[in-house]
Amino acid sequence: MNNSMSLLIGGVQGEGVISTAENLMKTLSSLGYYCFEKRNFSSRIKGGNSSIVINIGLEKKLWVEDEVSFIVALDQETIDLYHPLLEENGIIFYDSTITPDPTLLKKGLKLHALPISEIAKKNGSLIMKNTSAMGFIGVLLGISEGNLIEVITKKFKKKGQDIIEKNIKVLDHVFQHANENLNEYSNFILNSIQKNKRPLMLGNHGVSLGALMAGCRFVASYPITPASEIMETLGVLLPKYKGIMLQVEDEIAAVNMIIGAAYGGVRSMTATSGPGISLMMEGIGLAGMTETPIVIVNSQRVGPSTGMPTKHEQSDLIGLYFGGHGEYPTIILTPSTVEECFYSTIRAFNLADKYQCPVIILLDLTLSLSNQTIDQLDYSKIEIDRGKIFGASEIQQGYKRFQFTEDHVSTRAIPGTKGGIHHTTGLEHSEIGLPMDTPLNRKKMMEKRMEKTYILQSSNEIIIKENKPTSNNNVLVLTFGSTYGIIKGAIEKNNIPVDFGYFQMIKPLPIKQLENLFAKYDHIIVVENNYSQQLATIIRSEVGYHDKIHSVTKYDGTTFTLGEIITEIGRWV
């Protein structure tokens, strides 16, 4: 019996590997187990190989293990590519329609054929091999047929009773076959757990739900991996709450449309990835210049150019931190878990309204596209604060949209508000919003815009996990995004005596907190997925302490493994 289990499912892309894994994880999450997934897929619709590593446990984990206990291979490529991940005594279960290379057996790998396609074909149709595969994995993990049927019934509800019954028939035969043939494989069975249904979500779902609950009612977006689920999810949810999601002609239209809608008084958002964010830069500058509150989600993938669209990287940070042409304020939030995607998105809308500037939610491909079993989201933490907006009755004579104020934020009047008429322009402008290029006004306006978010530099935005009592408080590991989960896994699992932490907000940089950390620790190791040490570079340039900062980077399109982190951090312990 096991407290945790790690497995890999792989097959031809487009033949349902991802939905097999999702159905399995949904079942497990509904029972009380925590799941965490890592995908490997390619930029094509059908063909090629797609695989998912799933970690299942009684406790929550934010990483997948470097090794898996068993592999379920629906195609030959899965075996070829991933057999090195198999732990000692691990087993490859393969669909009996493929004939694995017998030389693999010489390497000591144990192979076992399962009639995955055969049962599906005989009792339903070939496409139901996903249900069949899920059934076999369920058997191996010790999940009851009833629990799998529950998820299948829910999933195929729209497709009708006939489809549901056929899928159940497939499951029946899988369980029957397993009872007769798989009794020797009882070593993968999970310990039972008290039933507690928890949601299973992608980071992109966390963002979408956060946006909805924050009061976002307008989204304009252009499809792109790995951000598309956000527009897809909100395309379903927004109309239910009288909101609008538009798929527009390009990312330039998307950002400008949300600027228009936000100026019009609606909480508005767009979601994109690298190539899209490059196209949006001029628009983000316009929002900065016109003090328009917009929220932009950027899920990082491998760049530059088209890069590797389905691979992981954290390399848009510097570009967004320093921005496009000219200087303007932005806020960059960097959630690390699905729960944080939800809460950070709500916070993003509040910050955008409070500081009247663009807020960027910086995700990465792994966070966007990894299903995680999450803890219940807390309704009481949802707060909507629209910041300084005039209601019609409050407007006073001589209203100035861009008035100089103590906190540098001026009150907005949205179109339709009587007495609030003003001009808004991307040109430098006066307090009433009309073009003005005098040196004195330019200087004051620059300071107004650039300094309004300064106060956030004093905010504690780095969550520190002290690894007491083993830590000698000498070394701190810092990171951001999904990399946090791997750092946490590596350090906690191996009791490495270091503290670690992650940024929730990178811009404005929490300078005060960083100063305190540099005073406390001798070595700060910054771990990130890019070539040019982007986060470390920002910290060096804003805070200093070059001699104390050590950088660990990886830029091959894959996330760090636990082993790599253990080795890298080990150097400093």
For binding to another protein (CB under 8 A), which residues are involved? 199-201, 205, 209, 212-215, 217-218, 220, 237, 239, 241-244, 246, 248-250, 252-254, 256-268, 282-283, 286, 290, 376-377, 379, 382, 384, 414-427, 434-435
Alpha-carbon gap, residue 75 to 50, rounded angstroms: 10
Q: Cβ of residue 343: shortest distance to another protein, in angstroms?
A: 14
The least distance separating another protein from the CB of residue 424, rounded to whole angstroms, comes to: 5
The rounded distance, in Å, linking the Cα atoms of 513 and 519 is 10
The answer to whether residues 243 and 272 touch, using CB atoms and an 8 Å cutoff, is: no
Q: How far is the CB of 473 from another protein (least distance, A)?
A: 39
In terms of DSSP bridges, do strands 331-333 and 308-312 run parallel, antiparallel, or are they unpaired? unpaired
* Residue nearer to another protein on the CB measure, 266 or 318: 266
Instruction: Report which residue type is found at 53.
Output: V
Nearer to another protein, 220 or 517 (CB): 220
What backbone torsions phi and psi does residue 525 show, to the nearest 5 degrees?
Answer: -100, 120
The Cβ-side half-sphere exposure at 367, using a 13 Å CA radius, reads 31
Nearer to another protein, 265 or 319 (CB): 265
- How far does Cα 129 stand from its chain's mean position? 29
Q: Which is nearer to another protein, 63 or 349 (CB)?
A: 349
User: Which residue lies nearer to another protein by CB, 342 or 560?
Assistant: 342
Q: Nearer Cβ to another protein, position 173 or 267?
A: 267
Taking the least distance from each CB to another protein, the nearer of 286 and 517 is 286
Q: Which is nearer to another protein, 248 or 527 (CB)?
A: 248
CA distances, 409 to each of 275, 301, 437, 447 (Å): 32, 34, 21, 11
d(CA 309, CA 302): 6
Q: What is the three-class DSSP state of 238?
A: helix
Report the 10 Å Cβ neighbour count for 247. 14
Q: Report the nearest approach of another protein to the CB of residue 573 (Å).
A: 39
Q: In whole angstroms, how close is the CB of 44 to another protein at the nearest point?
A: 27
- Beta pairing partners, 111: 92
Query: CB of residue 414 vs another protein: minimum separation in angstroms?
Result: 6
Contacts of 95 (CB under 8 A, 6+ apart): 73, 74, 75, 113, 114, 115, 116, 117, 129, 133
Shortest distance, position 416 Cβ to another protein, whole Å: 6
Our CB check for another protein shows the closer of 190 and 220 to be 220
Report the nearest approach of another protein to the CB of residue 91 (Å). Answer: 31
- Closer to another protein by Cβ: residue 311 or 347: 347
Q: Which is nearer to another protein, 317 or 413 (CB)?
A: 413
Residues 6 or more apart in contact with residue 509 via CB below 8 angstroms: 457, 538, 539, 542, 543
Assess contact for 445 and 429: CB atoms under 8 A.
yes
Rounded to a whole number of angstroms, the minimum distance from the CB of residue 423 to another protein is 5
CB of 276 to another protein, least distance (A): 14
What is the nearest approach in angstroms of another protein to the Cβ of residue 201? 5
Measuring CA to CA, how many Å separate 174 from each of 102, 115, 117, 270, 367? Answer: 26, 8, 11, 44, 33
Residue with smaller CB distance to another protein, 241 or 531:
241
Other CB atoms within a 10 A radius of the CB of residue 476 amount to: 26
Instruction: Say if CB 217 and CB 243 are below 8 A apart.
Output: yes
Q: What is the dihedral of CA 517, 523, 528, 532, to 10 degrees?
A: 110
- What letter would DSSP give residue 20? H
Asked whether 539 and 509 are in contact (CB, 8 A), the reply is yes
**What minimum distance in Å lies between the beta carbon of 434 and another protein?**
6
**Whole-angstrom distance, CA of residue 304 vs CA of residue 325:** 18
Say if residues 498 and 523 touch (Cβ distance below 8 Å).
no
Distance from C-alpha of 100 to C-alpha of 119, rounded to nearest angstrom:
19
Residue 179: how many other CB atoms lie within 10 Å = 10
